[in-house]
Structure 1
């Protein structure tokens, strides 16, 4: 483990009171990596009450490790957990690492954890936002999505056109009913909702059964009297199929 004295000396160089230690996933064209942050009291451009300073970037290889079936595939997560826990314990502050098993850059930052919406399966805090489009809005965390897929779930992509998305309220009016149709109905998860433009919406679902998932989507569109059109694309082990709304 990296010398904690070195990291503590870095923390001592900042005059603000320390509030938390945080580990966050990020990624680029080469793959995933972890950023280890110190969160201090004091306003910043990112938050009205807190400031974050990056302490380290942790990585143990690119995406090829997944094809090589390395175990564990994300050893930097273990590194971040050990380092963050030790540093936070010495400083008497919380350590926040909401995605310790799988890379996920859709989880909420430490300072947003209490106000954020939650993964519908495990309850982890997820990023909120409709601050300029396109803006992906996650409905479930990467770990729960992966668990569903391992159990045989399939992906549905719904591309809607002719909808009104000029404001956050209109976006929410389109987004929220999907939870009643998919999550509350015990059909699956809402993976992501993304406003592609003021009139186009992309809804990504993970459903426990292909047929029941497609039926739930079409019933939802019919019940809402969905304006415009929609294309439902199914990705599964048996290939791809498309359904178009309205039918005919």
Structure 2
């Protein structure tokens, strides 16, 4: 379908459709590239007694990638604003009725011709078809069902996954190397001296830093293990019938190139894992950087939600009144205040007067 990127291109698309234009339908669809609006116009064509209403696809509207969710773009979904503006500005020309059942991505909304059989969500008002699952409510859409569940977790302070975050740090900048539920899941874990890690941890955020001395020791252990693994390296057998399942990567170690099949070949996958850990520590040592490991214990869904509110789309100070308003209907002002005090004691945020700002520690664990 053609791309519609402006009011003018939408107008040109509608002019290609004959008949009396009645309804502009805008429904969300999505693929691996992101969300987009599919536009169609319903037009009356023919004369009585064979007059009929025909649906004509117009094109798709995409005005940005889904990265907008993390950049604070306002409005986050300008595609909806474009079609609303078009209908308003062309009211005298076309007199169109806009059918836009959702202003944010949702691919479960009914078509205009199906609206009579749909039901409005009790929470957001969007039209949809009740789920036939015995495990889902019938009065709200799936998105609102998930929102209700999350609000319940926040309200009840349900335990959140503790987890571990790993960063490389240099000159005041933290670069994420990943997150895992357990530290043992990181490739460097078997090579870290257990004495450098904390004993069983109480609640809170515990930060372990691995400076140059520790990284040199880890790198030496990785070198010994990688050298041993590569001493028995054999290329993977290639079967043309399975070629579309393979995933090859090439590494270079001590001047020798090795081709690894990392999807189906377990030994090659192990070599790749150790090699990338080896290369990462070698680069950190060369850069004079260090590794920072954040262990989370006792973090609740309420703590996590508040930190994410402060951190996304960009870390920025919030007024206490803003935080209270954001959780209106979910938490009381006293509960918000108590949560902020807890997170401040954990060094996850800072409060100056009525201003609340997430700290580097808080930002690094969400």
Give TM-score scaled by structure 1 length: 0.48
Question: Which has a greater percent of strand?
Answer: 1
Question: Which has a greater percent of helix?
Answer: 2
Give TM-score scaled by structure 2 length: 0.34
Answer with 1 or 2: which has the greater Rg: 2
